[in-house]
Amino acid sequence: MAKLEILNAAVYCGTYGKYNNGSIDGAWMQLAEYKTGEEFLKACAKLHKDEPEPEFMFQDKECLPDEFYSESWIDPEIFQVLAIVKTWDTKKQDAFADFLDAKGWPPDTFAIEEFLTAQAKGKQANKRTCTNNWLDDETEEARSILKSAGSWLADSLYKAMKLRDGVFFEFDKPEIEKSFCFGYSSFYGPSYEEASESCKSFSEEDFKQRNLEKFDRTVSRYEELLEGRDEVAIAKCYSDQARGVIYYILDPDYATTDGVTKLTKEETFDLKEKYLRAVYILRAKFMKQIDSYLKRYGLTKIRKWTYCSDD
């Protein structure tokens, strides 16, 4: 089950004046502590009361989607969202997090309205975009093992594929990329004009392609590792109270390392087949999330820019 990370949203607030003078003095601001954007900006002004007219510089962020953030501005809508979700109990917050995962949406006021409408109609707000399948069942088994062992990792687990009793392979959650940079150089790569045109003409199809390429790069490491292998090794990633173990796949060269075990040829063959099936399911789910995001927002919330390589 996903966790509603927006509740922990924070930004580091400095000022351009201090930064230009070689100082990054400031503080982390927990956004959930403020009822409105105005209250937040007053707190920022109080933090930098040594400047008559401070120009705030938000130098870093945590648990805050790109849609709400820039270096010089925080979208006031985030405080409307926090004011609502803070009143919900944990069960409802978790259901909303699952709803966002399934849709691929940021936690804005539109998403809240759609979530509440789904609940009012008696639909399951945490319904998955894919129908229940063996991967869902095995993920729940892995999560149950971790919970019984008292591991906090149970709540952050995305998907897990069972290799043998007590042994699972974990899949990281694919995140929709919403920031895109187009670089240019006078010596190599695209020219200024080419980079600017790519940035200007960036389309929804480009958005899909870039996100799917990112997903494919993430999973290709294991696909390449499994290719042509009769045996592979698995290494313990984490475990708790010796009840449950999650493993990552490693090259057989690591088989002499403590905590590493070789799979048999039969297990390796089954692993190859199962891994490809799991990737197919997750990629299809991710494509639906991308399509859902584009249907709702198009390219209105993405960030894109160009830069010049310092030759």
Q: How many domains does the chain have?
A: 3
> What pTM was estimated for this model as a whole?
0.67
Collapsing DSSP to helix, strand or coil, 170 comes out as: strand
| Cα–Cα distance for residue pair 232/168, rounded to 1 Å | 14
pLDDT at 311: 38
User: Which residues are within 8 A (CB) of 189 and not within 5 positions of it... i.e. 6 or more apart?
Assistant: 183, 309
Same domain, 147 and 287: yes
- Look at residue 135 and tell me if it is in a domain: no
Same domain, 38 and 102: no
Please spell the DSSP secondary structure of 224-276, one letter per residue.
Answer: HHHTT-S--EEEEEEEETTTEEEEEEE-GGGTTSTTEEEPPHHHHHHHHHHHH
The last residue of a domain, from among 130, 160, 186: 130
State how far Cα 83 lies from the chain centre.
Answer: 23
Same domain, 150 and 30: no
Same domain, 196 and 304: yes
Distances (CA, A) of 301 to 31, 109, 114, 127: 20, 14, 18, 25
Domain of residue 68, residue span: 5-83
Same domain, 268 and 292: yes
233-239-244 Cα angle (round to 5): 90
- Full pLDDT tens readout for the chain, 311 residues: 567 889 999 999 999 999 999 999 999 999 999 999 999 999 999 999 999 899 999 999 999 988 888 888 899 999 999 999 999 988 899 889 888 887 888 898 888 988 888 887 765 444 444 445 888 888 888 888 877 777 777 777 888 888 877 778 888 888 888 888 887 666 667 777 888 888 889 999 999 999 999 888 888 877 877 777 787 888 776 654 444 566 777 765 655 556 677 788 888 888 888 888 888 888 888 998 899 889 888 998 888 878 764 43
- Look at residue 191 and tell me if it is in a domain: yes
Same domain, 114 and 184: no
Q: Which tokens hold the place of 283? A: 């990629």
Same domain, 106 and 195: no
Determine contact, residues 306/119, Cβ cutoff 8 Å: no
